[in-house]
Amino acid sequence: MIAGVFAALCLSTAGAHAADEREAAAKTLVSAGLPVWLAQAGAFTADMTAIETATERSAHGLAATLPRTCDLARMNRDLCGVKLVRIPSTSMAPALLVKDTVAVLQKDFGAVRRGDVLVHNAKYQGAASPTTLGITRVIGMPGDTVEIHAGEVLVNGKPLAREVTGETYSDDTFSAAVLRETTPEGRSYTIAMPDPRPRTQADDFGPVTVPADKYFVMGDNRYNSLDSRFPDMFNEDGFVAQPDVVGVAASVLAAGDKERIGLTLR
């Protein structure tokens, strides 16, 4: 009995120490870059108290998503496998906005799961560069059948659950209702749906079956994203192949809205 309690105490202590190490490692990365990231997001401030608060939020969100093997030594060696990405478009709004700086786990993130935000190599028809980075959310896993009816997404014949949040997302071009969508596994995220919906190819699609070693992906800004619903314009067949996955988005390191700093994505 005593031995069991001692072992549990040791495990708890080790876990707390590892969490502290990840927090310290995250703060090392964030402290060095946050002022620049905030300026890039249009949120420059000389207020040191505001910077310290944002640093704590950003580091805490990052630490919660870092691999267990991350500590100060590894952060100094290879950034714990983290890649920094600035969001270039509104296709993933409202979760990710233009000029956000996002931490992407390039390794040690385990298997790709439905609901993950993938950063991947992509080929867009008519793009100046043959390959660029795409940022989309995994909707269909290998072997799944995906279809869309009147904007509603069905996976293997069952619609993804949705609920109205009462919030809105708007930019310079349009306004949309923010809905919460939930996968069959219980993972939730927000999407932007204009009302009324425009009638496009994105409104009714499929069914298609996702090939082995590929993913069906969509942007959260459902009517402002070039993704798997447009196979003639996206990756030649509309899917993201596993070898093209660069990593999985983990957290928002910096944003124009201070309340979104530290938002975890996985």
pLDDT in tens, the chain (266 residues): 554 543 333 334 445 668 999 999 999 999 999 999 999 999 999 999 999 999 999 999 999 999 999 999 999 999 999 999 999 999 999 999 999 999 999 988 889 999 999 999 999 987 767 889 999 999 999 999 999 999 999 999 999 999 999 999 998 778 999 999 999 999 999 999 988 878 887 789 999 999 999 999 999 999 999 999 999 999 999 999 999 999 999 999 999 999 999 999 98
Q: Do the beta carbons of residue 251 and residue 263 sit within 8 Å?
A: yes
Where along the chain do its domains lie? 117-250
Distance CA 140, CA 158 (A): 12
Strand partners, 150: none
Say which CATH topology domain 117-250 has. Answer: Umud Fragment, subunit A (2.10.109)
Phi, psi (degrees; rounded to nearest 5) at 5: -65, -40
Cα angle: 248, vertex 206, 215; to 5 degrees = 20
Other beta carbons within 10 Å of 68: 11
What are the DSSP calls for 157-196, one per residue?
TEEPEEEEEEEEEE-SS-EEEEEEEE-TTS-EEEEEE-SS
Phi, psi (degrees; rounded to nearest 5) at 235: 55, 25
